[in-house]
Structure 1
Amino acid sequence: MSYVTPKEFAVKMVDAGESKIFMSTKDTLIRAYMAGAILALAAAFAVTIAVNTGNFLVASLLFPVGFCLLYLMGFDLLTGVFTLAPLAVIAKRPGCTWGGVLRNWGLVFTGNFAGAMTTAVLMAVVFTTGFSTEPNAVGEKIGHIGEARTLGYAAAGGAGLLTVFVRAILCNWMVSTGVVAAMMSTSTSGKIMAMWMPILVFFYLGFEHSIVNMFLFPSGIMLGGQFTWADYFIYNEIPVVLGNLVGGLTFVGAMIYATHFRESPKRNANRNDDIAGVPAE
Structure 2
Amino acid sequence: MAIEAGTKKVHLPFPSVLLLGFLGGAFISIGYLLDIRVVASLPHEWGSFSAFLGAAVFPVGLMLILIAGGELLTGNMMAVSIACLAKRVNIAQLIKNWFWITISNFIGALFVAYCFGHLAELTTTGPYLDKTIASAQAKIEANPLAAICSAIGCNWLVGLAVWMSYGAEDIGGKILAIWFPIMAFVAIGFQHVVANMFVIPAAIFAGYFNWGDYFYNFIFVFIGNAIGGSVFVSAIYWLSYRRELALDSHSQIKGH
Please give the TM-score of this superposition, normalised by the length of structure 2. Answer: 0.88
Residue equivalent to 1:253: 234
Deviation (angstroms), 1:128: 6.8
Residue equivalent to 1:172: 155
Query: Given the alignment of the two structures, is residue 233 of structure 1 paired with residue 232 of structure 2, yes or no?
Result: no
User: Is the Cα–Cα contact under 8 Å of residues 181 and 194 in structure 1 kept in the other structure?
Assistant: yes
User: Is the Cα–Cα contact under 8 Å of residues 174 and 199 in structure 1 kept in the other structure?
Assistant: yes
Residue from 78, 84, 92 that aligns with 2:87: 92
Deviations 1:233-261 (A, max 9, x none): 11x11100110000011111111222234
1:92-131 correspondence runs (5 A): 92-93=87-88, 96-122=89-115, 123-127=117-121
Larger Rg: 1
Deviations 1:117-146 (A, max 9, x none): 0000012112279xxxx6332023212322
Q: Distance in 1 between matches of 2:122 and 2:9?
A: 39
Q: Distance in 1 between matches of 2:59 and 2:105?
A: 17
Q: Distance in 1 between matches of 2:42 and 2:164?
A: 30
Query: Given the alignment of the two structures, is residue 215 of structure 1 paired with residue 198 of structure 2, yes or no?
Result: yes
Equivalent position amino acid for 2:210 in 1: T
1:1-281 correspondence runs (5 A): 12-54=1-43, 55-93=50-88, 96-122=89-115, 123-127=117-121, 135-150=125-140, 152-153=141-142, 160-225=143-208, 227-234=209-216, 236-263=217-244
Deviation (angstroms), 1:30: 0.7
User: Is the Cα–Cα contact under 8 Å of residues 143 and 224 in structure 1 kept in the other structure?
Assistant: no
Deviations 1:152-199 (A, max 9, x none): 23xxxxxx1100110000000001111111112111101111111100
Residue equivalent to 2:252: none
Q: Distance in 1 between matches of 2:145 and 2:111?
A: 30
Change (3 A) 1:103 1:138: same
User: Is the Cα–Cα contact under 8 Å of residues 144 and 220 in structure 1 kept in the other structure?
Assistant: no
Residue equivalent to 2:47: none
Equivalent position amino acid for 1:231 in 2: D
Equivalent position amino acid for 1:86 in 2: S
Deviation (angstroms), 1:52: 2.3
User: Is the Cα–Cα contact under 8 Å of residues 127 and 139 in structure 1 kept in the other structure?
Assistant: no
Q: Distance in 1 between matches of 2:138 and 2:114?
A: 21
Q: Identify unmatched segments of 5+ residues in structure 1.
A: 1-11, 154-159, 265-281
Change (3 A) 1:128 1:112: closer
Identity of aligned residues (%): 30
Please give the TM-score of this superposition, normalised by the length of structure 1. Answer: 0.81
Equivalent position amino acid for 1:19 in 2: K
User: Is the Cα–Cα contact under 8 Å of residues 85 and 238 in structure 2 kept in the other structure?
Assistant: no
Q: Distance in 2 between matches of 1:204 and 1:214?
A: 19
Deviations 1:91-131 (A, max 9, x none): 122xx3211111111110011000000000012112279xx
- Which secondary structure does the structure 2 equivalent of 1:183 belong to? helix
Q: Distance in 2 between matches of 1:113 and 1:43?
A: 14
Q: Distance in 1 between matches of 2:85 and 2:241?
A: 14
Specify which structure has the higher proportion of helix. 2
Deviation (angstroms), 1:63: 1.2
